Amino acid sequence: MAGKALKQQDLDKSQKRVRTMQQRIDRLQREVKEYERKNQFFEMLISSLPGLFYLFDEDFKVHKWNKNVEEVIGYSSEEVTTRSLFELFDGEDLLRVQKSIQSAFTTGEGVVEADLVTKEGRRIPYFFTGATARIADTSYLLGMGLDISKRKQAEDGLRESEALYRIFAERMTEGVVLCHNSLIRFVNDAFVSMLAHKDSSRILGSDITSFVSKDFEIYFREMMETLEKGVMEERYFQARWMTKANQEIWVEGRGNLIQWQGNPTVLLTARDITETKQREISMQEEADHLRRENVNLRSSIKDRYRFGNIIGKSAAMQEVYELILDAAASSANLIIYGESGTGKELVARAIHTMSSRSANNFITVNCAAIPENLLESEFFGHKKGAFTGAHSDKQGYLDLADGGTLFLDEIGELGINLQAKLLRAIEGGGYSPVGSSLSKASDFRIIAATNRNLLDGLKKGLMREDFFYRIHIIPINLPPLRNRKDDIPLLLEHFLRTYAEEGKIPTVPGQIMDALIRYDWPGNVRELQNLTQRYIAVKRIDFLPSAAIVPAALQEGPEMDAADPAKQDFSTGGRLAEIEEAAIKKALTRFHGNKTRAAEALGISRKTLARKLKRMGTI
């Protein structure tokens, strides 16, 4: 019985070992199937990868590759295993590939660009990348190769184009400059020669504005910023530049925004127009001289008691008349300074009337009276539907002033943004109506006026420096009436004739005239004009702002005794002659009879003084 029990135990152990072995076999079979499945997936992945896929060991024996390898190099799968890896490269490419593989086995990865040579001898540029791993004491390199033929063709084409354009630029007779952030990156020989440099070494890397005359530096810098920021893609310019020898030349050209080496870059073409400009300036000066001579003849230079609609014979007004003549003969922008009521618009109209623009519009704009939200629409116009209420297209002030004059009264009220847009239009950069992308141009001259000190606005940042200098070319300062009281009798006579009924021009008593001359006139000529109208209506003088009524002694009335010289009425003409004679005698007494010095003090010529003395019966 004991023997049977032992045999049964041995049988059970054997059966258990068999079951255990079977379980191991089943597990191994599952693992083999899983491995085969993964291997099939891996094989499928390798075969479907783009480009070339390869696996070789440190002895350069190829173990795996995808179908693309065979298709590209032209060798069958059997031939691949019999060929050396390095047969696919030659020359410098072979050395680079060997060095890259060595680096990969040393550092774990490597990259290289090389031409792969096919079985037929065709060369194909490839980019190879690989990584290494060590398995069972053997190092393997797993890599991929990508065909870069198209990229190479594009690069070659780009290099050829760049070389072609460089040759073209070098041989152009016009100067060519490439600027990035205003720094010069490329110049051609024509530009170097234009600035009288021997070569480009002193020019490359410099700020382009350093070659521009100081008078045009702000204007040119603004143009470059406009282009570089993409506000405009093209700008025309004409400016004075400085050569190496510090000589000024006139240069004109265009600036365009382009992409160069992946960066926004300004391409400038420029040419020297000094000779042409000098001829143009000479012709303009001659034309201005002839125009001035014509204006002089029309303005009755001898004894200017009036100038168009401007009244006054004082020395201060004679200076204003001279400036008006100069401004009328010029095409430059100008600004008129003066207190309220001094006649700034009259001066602006006189300049326009005597200028070459007189046949075209004189457009008056009160900058302080336009709501800020309508400024742009008023100046540049708008398209129908641009905003609520824009029921139709509307021309702006710049459209209306084309060929003529734009008079900007109270210019100190203009905002910074509108100043920038006006500056662009002044410099030929154009403007766009509100609601339109179309750029328009207008040939207009600006005459500005203000009772403010614009330099204070400049310091406070309320006015752009470049805009200030563009309108401040010819400044004219109008004197207040209190500084030219000699003109009061003339002005009074003019207003009396203007507002009185025909044939009923009233006379003004001497006492009233004395009061008018003693008064300080805070409202200037406009106040005198209004006062004269009231005097004609009510025969009394009401000075503003106190509105204090002149006493009866200073009013015209029937009780005044015409026989009494102290109460006698004086016409404005007689009163003027009396004031003039007294001033001449006072000047001669002061300078002890020296007529030259007396004439200088009176603001008249010695010849005019002699003529007046003859009329007075003195000589």
What is the C-alpha separation between 415 and 404, in angstroms, rounded?
A: 24
Residue-level pLDDT at 569: 39
What average pLDDT does range 221-225 have in this prediction?
Answer: 87
| Mean pLDDT within 404-430 | 89
Q: State the burial class of residue 150 (Cβ atoms within 10 Å of its Cβ: 0-12, 13-18, 19+).
A: exposed
- Cα–Cα dist 525/311, whole Å: 10
Nearest to 110 by CA among 125, 89, 129, 132: 129
The DSSP line for 444-502 is -EEEEEESS-HHHHHHTTSS-HHHHHHH-SEEEEPPPGGG-GGGHHHHHHHHHHHHSPT
pLDDT score of 295: 60
Q: Is the pLDDT score of 560 beyond 50?
A: no
Which two three-digit tokens encode residue 316? 């201060």
Strands (E), 70-137: 109-117, 123-135
C-alpha 21/C-alpha 71 separation (Å) is 48
Alpha-carbon distance values, 90 to 18, 128, 603 (Å)? 62, 15, 98
pLDDT of residue 221: 87
> How many other CB atoms are found less than 10 A from the CB of residue 591?
15
CATH class of 154-272: alpha beta
Interatomic CA distance for residues 217 and 469, integer angstroms: 12
> Which run of H or of E encompasses 160?
helix 149-171
Supply the CATH classification number for the domain 278-478: 3.40.50.300
Q: Which of 310-314, 507-511, 539-543 has the highest mean pLDDT?
A: 310-314
104 and 87 in contact (C-beta within 8 Å)?
Answer: no
Class of domain 46-147 as given by CATH: alpha beta
Q: Write out pLDDT tens, residues 104-151.
A: 888 888 888 888 888 888 888 888 888 888 877 888 888 888 888 887
* Whether the Cβ atoms of residue 174 and residue 81 lie closer than 8 Å to each other: no
SS3 274: helix
pLDDT grade for 345, boundaries at 50, 70 and 90:
very high
From the list 446, 505, 447, the residue with the least C-alpha distance to 476 is 447
Q: Which of 538, 533, 487 is nearest to 513 (CA)?
A: 487
Helix, strand, or coil here: 342? coil
Q: Determine the angle formed by the axes of helices 315-328 and 344-354, rounding to 10 degrees.
A: 40
Q: What angle do CA 324, 326, 330 make, to 5 degrees?
A: 110
Per residue in 304-330, pLDDT (tens digit) is 677 778 999 888 998 898 899 889 888
Tell me: pLDDT of 550 over 50. no
**Per residue, what are the HEC states of 216-251?**
HHHHHHHHHHHHHCCCCCEEEEEEEEECCCCCEEEE
Residue listed under structure tokens 């007294």: 582
Two domains, one topology: 46-147 and 154-272: yes
Biggest CA–CA distance in the chain, Å, is: 184
Which tens digit of pLDDT belongs to each residue from 570-602? 344 445 566 667 778 877 887 777 887 777 766
CB-based contact 268:177 (threshold 8 Å): yes
Q: What is the mean pLDDT of residues 214-224?
A: 86
Mean pLDDT, range 286-299, rounded to an integer = 65
Here the contacts of 389-398 (C-beta below 8 Å, separation 24 or greater) are 390/434, 390/435, 393/433, 396/433, 397/363, 397/365, 398/425, 398/431, 398/440, 398/442, 398/444
Residue 284 has pLDDT above 80, yes or no: no
DSSP string, 175-226: EEEEEETTEEEEE-HHHHHHTT-SSGGGTTTSBGGGGB-HHHHHHHHHHHHH
Nearest residue to 491 via CA among 537, 538, 532: 532
420: which 2 tokens?
């920038």
pLDDT, residue 18, reads: 65
Which residue bears the tokens 């068999």?
A: 18
pTM for the model: 0.47
Per-position DSSP letters for 313-324, written without gaps between them: -SHHHHHHHHHH
Task: Give every CB contact of residue 354 below 8 A, 6+ residues apart in sequence.
Answer: 295, 298, 299, 308, 324, 325, 328
* Signed CA dihedral, 619, 486, 508, 512: sign only: negative
Average pLDDT over residues 155-164: 61
CA 147 from chain centre, in angstroms, equals 48
Cα dist from 284 to 263, 288, 289, 356, 470, whole Å: 43, 6, 8, 12, 20
Quick one: CATH architecture of 482-615?
Orthogonal Bundle (1.10)
pLDDT of residue 568: 38
Q: What is the C-alpha separation between 278 and 62, in angstroms, rounded? A: 80
For residues 232 and 474, which has the higher predicted lDDT (pLDDT)? 474
Task: Tell me the residue length of the chain.
Answer: 619
Alpha carbon separation from 308 to 303, 312, 344, 347, 592 (Å, rounded): 13, 11, 13, 9, 37
434: which DSSP letter? B
Contact 383, 395 (CB under 8 A): no
Give the start-to-end residue ranges of the domains of the chain.
46-147, 154-272, 278-478, 482-615
What is the distance between the alpha carbons of residues 155 and 148, in angstroms, rounded to a whole number?
10
In the chain, the amino acid numbered 576 is L
pLDDT at 548: 39
Q: Tell how strand 310-311 and strand 334-337 pair up.
A: unpaired
DSSP state of 174: S
Q: How far is CA 25 from CA 16, 28, 29, 51, in A?
A: 14, 5, 6, 41
Backbone Cα Rg of the chain: 47
Q: What is the per-residue pLDDT for 360?
A: 93
Element containing residue 514 per DSSP (H, E):
helix 510-518
> pLDDT higher for 87 or 298?
87
